[in-house]
Amino acid sequence: MSSHYDYSGESTTVQVKGVFHKGKFCYEDTGESIEFRNYANVTITVLLTDVLKKDKQKYLLKREVVLREGTFLQFDLPKPGLTFRLSLLEDLTFRKINNKPAIAEDCKCVVLDASQSSANSMAMIPDFEPFEIETLNQAFFKTSVKFRPESISHTTNIYKSFRVFEYGRYVKLEEFRF
C-alpha cells in the first residue's frame, strides 16, 4: 500500500493492491475482502489483457488503420542479401494506449516472393514458395529461420525493418506510428 500526502503531511490518497475474484476485490496477500465507504472514488488499474474482450475498445486510447488490405510491404535479411515482399490480407491497424508509441495489431499477410541483390541487379529466388502468416513479426521470424538458420536471433523491430512504397519513396512503418 502506498500513500500520497498533502502539505500538512496528512495522507490524501492510498494505493490498495488487490485482486478481483468472483465479483469482489480482495487483498492480494491475505485474500480478505477490500471494503470502502459508499460512493468512494476508486481508480482501477489493470492489464489490458485482463479486461474482458467485449470491453477492450472502451479502454484503448486510439486505434487507426494505417495500411489497407492488399498493400505490399518489403523487408530485408541483410546477411544473405535477401529482400522479401509481402501483401496484407487484412488492414494493418495500429493502436496507441496511454502515452506509449502506437503498436501494430496482428495482421494476416502472405509472403509472396524473395529476391537477392547483387552489385547492380536484383534476381528473384526461383524456388521460393509463398506462405500465409498471422503477423509481421512472424513473417520475419519464419523467413529468418529458413534463410539464416545459423543466426542466433530471428527477431526484428518491424517498425524499422518493414517498409512500403508510397509517395515515390520507401516509407518505414516507424513513420506511421502516432
Predicted TM-score of the model (pTM):
0.66
Q: Determine the Cα–Cα distance for residues 139 and 17; give it in Å rounded to an integer.
A: 40
- Name the helix (H) or strand (E) containing 72: strand 72-77
**Contact indicator for 23, 10 with CB cutoff of 8 Å:** no
**Helix, strand, or coil (residue 148):** coil
Q: What is the rounded distance in angstroms from the CA atom of residue 147 to the CA atom of residue 82?
A: 9
Flag whether pLDDT at 175 surpasses 70.
yes
What's 105's DSSP letter? P
Q: What is the pLDDT of residue 142?
A: 98
**Does 61 score more than 80 pLDDT?**
no
The domain spans of the chain are: 2-45, 62-176
**What residue type is 67 in one-letter code?**
L
Res 81 pLDDT > 80: yes
What pLDDT is recorded for position 10?
65
